[in-house]
Structure 1
């Protein structure tokens, strides 16, 4: 859950628990909800619903990945989490502390903690509130679907960068729902992509020029840029097939 992830910008995907609440336009066609709530009926999505912690065998996988990385001298990326949000208000603080312990215990892995709740990160990693500090091998990312979200969250992500000193920061501009103008507060890594169909939800329109605009701004601001996919699995134009990483990672 899952080794050798199919997500192009990571090596592995790890889900410490499953379940979330929609809080962004990016959530409208939620892959995780369509898979785990609608298809498998494993959890209920939404506020006040229980999150389901994954099993012990799943939690042991990163330990094995770390040992392999140490032996090979590589630094694999681990995306956490595709089926939940690490900084979800509904999650038991003890679960999050257990996750931080696991990240601390796997220093050869680069942990990508992506959230739609970037405003929670500072307080949920504050020892004065009884929380564990953010490990040095963790990168923090925010989902940013449009200009309004960028304007709202860029300074929150910058605060995390300045206050917690993560390995790097990143923005997941996927699904990209509008043209976005970056500035000097842009995250270190710009990941972007179009939407895919999810159940009854059909992929929304994305203009290729929006991707080109992010690519060009990333170059000017000295940010790494990663183009993941076009909407509806269209082929990526050759000039947009740019895939950069902030630091070296293991080969896919």
Structure 2
């Protein structure tokens, strides 16, 4: 399905549903959308999740009939895998993850982007440099998916067309990058969206791409401009491609005829005279835009494998 997500072209959801595990999930757009789709009778969204962490239509479900969709795409495209789920959720069987990877291996004309808040499981399943794909290969054999196992066995690891990433919304979750760094991947990326605070502990060694963005939606929290600038500056120093996706519902303000929300450098509401406070004005996602310091930032990574081959 085509998408308005700024950093990709298409979405593909061979699984749906998830569970909230950190503050970045508080205003999950997918959870809200799943409830709406359930009410509309969409077959993929009839499994309900635990109301404490999920919701109507957002229980984890696999959709084997969706696995073949990319096989019918002839024109190369960039594909965000599981915009409505997390492929590495504990309730997605390993053999099914193997089937997803086999489809990606069989369609090298496309570039696939997989984003997870569970990078530790991603590392266990995908493997490190010395054992990339082995766990998935074994799971395919054990599950009786011999053609899948054959595809994975014959594939080049890391799969050159698969980018693997993790979401990091606050500094307490910066360690997610440690598991990502170890994972066998042609491109490793971080989504710092919704960015809920500064990320001083986040190291960019081994990270090829960083996406930053503010939060959109009814319960959106403002992003301090200095958090975004710091990440941009550090990406430039580290040689990591930087993509600024959006300000979200709020943009830096003080120049529009409505009250500003002042936030401190650590993300708390504050007064205008607080040191280094930022005035953020709620104008809506479209009006807020995605311009940072006079320009847009639309950098994309180059595969490390392509650079070294």
Matched, 1:245 2:300: yes
Partner of 1:139: 163
> Which structure's CA Rg is the greater one?
2
Shift of 1:23: 1.1
Over the aligned positions, Cα root-mean-square deviation in angstroms equals 2.3
Work out the CA distance in 2 between the residues paired with 1:81 and 1:45.
Answer: 17
Gaps of 5+ in 2: 40-44, 128-133, 141-151, 153-157, 250-284, 304-309
Partner of 1:97: 98
SS in 2 for 1:22: coil
Partner of 2:236: 219
Shift of 1:93: 2.4
Work out the CA distance in 2 between the residues paired with 1:12 and 1:231.
Answer: 21
SS in 2 for 1:227: strand
Please say if residues 78 and 109 of structure 1, whose CA atoms lie closer than 8 Å, have aligned partners that are also in contact: yes
Partner of 1:72: none
Matched, 1:20 2:18: yes
Partner of 2:28: 30
Partner of 2:69: 61
Aligned length: 230
Matched, 1:235 2:289: yes
- After superposition, the C-alpha distances for 1:78-122 in whole angstroms (9 at most, x for unaligned) are 111110001110112232121111111111111111100000012
By relative contact order (CA 8 Å, sep 6+), the higher-ranking structure is 1
Partner of 1:209: 226
Work out the CA distance in 2 between the residues paired with 1:154 and 1:51.
Answer: 25
- After superposition, the C-alpha distances for 1:163-212 in whole angstroms (9 at most, x for unaligned) are x2x111000000000011243436210001111115xxx10121112111
Matched, 1:187 2:236: no
Please say if residues 26 and 145 of structure 1, whose CA atoms lie closer than 8 Å, have aligned partners that are also in contact: yes
Partner of 2:115: 114
Please say if residues 37 and 45 of structure 1, whose CA atoms lie closer than 8 Å, have aligned partners that are also in contact: no
Work out the CA distance in 1 between the residues paired with 2:236 and 2:182.
Answer: 23
Gaps of 5+ in 1: 70-75
TM-score by length of 1: 0.83
SS in 2 for 1:140: strand
Matched, 1:197 2:214: no
Partner of 2:38: 40
SS in 2 for 1:228: strand
Partner of 2:176: 153
Work out the CA distance in 2 between the residues paired with 1:185 and 1:102.
Answer: 30
Which is helix-richer, 1 or 2? 1
Work out the CA distance in 1 between the residues paired with 2:296 and 2:12.
Answer: 26
SS in 2 for 1:112: strand
Per the alignment, do residues 205 and 101 of structure 1 end up closer, same or farther by CA in structure 2, a change over 3 Å counting? Answer: same
Work out the CA distance in 2 between the residues paired with 1:211 and 1:144.
Answer: 13
Matched, 1:174 2:193: yes
Work out the CA distance in 1 between the residues paired with 2:15 and 2:88.
Answer: 12
SS in 2 for 1:44: coil
Shift of 1:38: 5.5
Please say if residues 124 and 131 of structure 1, whose CA atoms lie closer than 8 Å, have aligned partners that are also in contact: no
Shift of 1:131: 3.5
Work out the CA distance in 2 between the residues paired with 1:142 and 1:186.
Answer: 13
